[in-house]
Amino acid sequence: MNFKALIIGLVSLLYFLGANWYYSNEHPEECCPKEKVATVAPTVIKKEREPLMFNWSNNKTLISDTKFPGFKSNILSDNKEGRILEITGRYFEGETAPDNYADMGRARAEAIWKERFPEIPATRIKFKSEKIPMRDGVKTEEFSAAAFNWIDAPTEAPKVIETANTALIYFNFNGTRGKLNQEVTDYLQKVATRLKNGTEKINITGHTDNIGEENANNDLGMRRSKTVRDILIRYGVDASRISTFTKGEIEPVESNETDPGRALNRRAFVEIIK
């Protein structure tokens, strides 16, 4: 090989390398395509909500649209005459209860009744609360916190059924003084203290069974509401903050065909108004 041919070969090689370098920089994807990696979206697993749940320090009921109807139907299947639905609200150490509740458990039990089982009258509801051991995640995740149990009603009508802002006080047949045992007087003393320490007012509505003339029962209902009013006044509540009403026999909560039913209709409904 002569010197001239060697020079031509070297020049050709340099031209080829230069051209390849230039093309690679101008068209990188065409020259040296890289393997594309498919992007796969992560799988999000959402925790299935139980039929009835709550959030930390909150008594608002949360339900599963798919599970709660069957859950409720199963509970109501044992709804028979003469039985009381006992609702137990559960709570953890450190939860803050709403005003006028001893603990979040009681607040939850009452909310369950009002929000999810309003068809059961107050005369057939009993509230309980239960403190349960702390567990991981309850401060940030929804949790179940309730139990239900049907129990036989007592043979004697209760004296008073209380919620946070209402109460039912029961009366003897044709009576206006009511069953003023310690349970009732303790309740009215507590209400009086609450009213004297705040700005709330109170409405009292008297009810009767259907024995006797309607007008007479209307008057009897008013006398019952005024009986409760007078007790509160004796405990120091200003009369101007108490309103009295009567419904007489027109709003029974149980059948007037039985003695136990009539006993539950002879009542005064107390409502504290904020």
Higher pLDDT, 159 or 272: 272
Higher pLDDT, 46 or 236: 236
What DSSP string describes 223-265? HHHHHHHHHHHHTT--GGGEEEEEEETSS-SS-TTSHHHHHHH
Domain segments of the chain: what residues? 52-152, 160-273
Report the pLDDT averaged over residues 182-202. 91
Looking at residue 12, its pLDDT comes to: 62
Looking at residue 46, its pLDDT comes to: 47
| pTM above threshold 0.75 | no
Instruction: Report the amino acid identity of residue 244.
Output: T
Computed over every residue of the chain, the mean pLDDT equals 83
DSSP 33: P
Homologous superfamily assigned to 52-152: OmpA-like domain (3.30.1330.60)
Asked whether 226 and 246 are in contact (CB, 8 A), the reply is: no
Report the pLDDT averaged over residues 154-168. 79
CATH of range 160-273; options 3.30.365.10, 3.30.1330.60, 1.10.1060.10, 3.20.20.80: 3.30.1330.60
Task: Give the pLDDT confidence of 57-70 residue by residue, as tens digits.
Answer: 999 999 999 999 99
DSSP 133: -
Do 160-273 and 52-152 have the same topology in CATH? yes
Higher pLDDT, 160 or 201: 201
CB atoms within 10 A of CB 107: 26
What DSSP string describes 35-77? PPPPP-PPPP-PPPPPSEEB-TT----EE-TTTHHHHHHHHHT
Least reliable range by pLDDT among 36-40, 62-66, 118-122, 201-205 = 36-40
Helix (H, G, I), strand (E, B) or coil at 149: strand
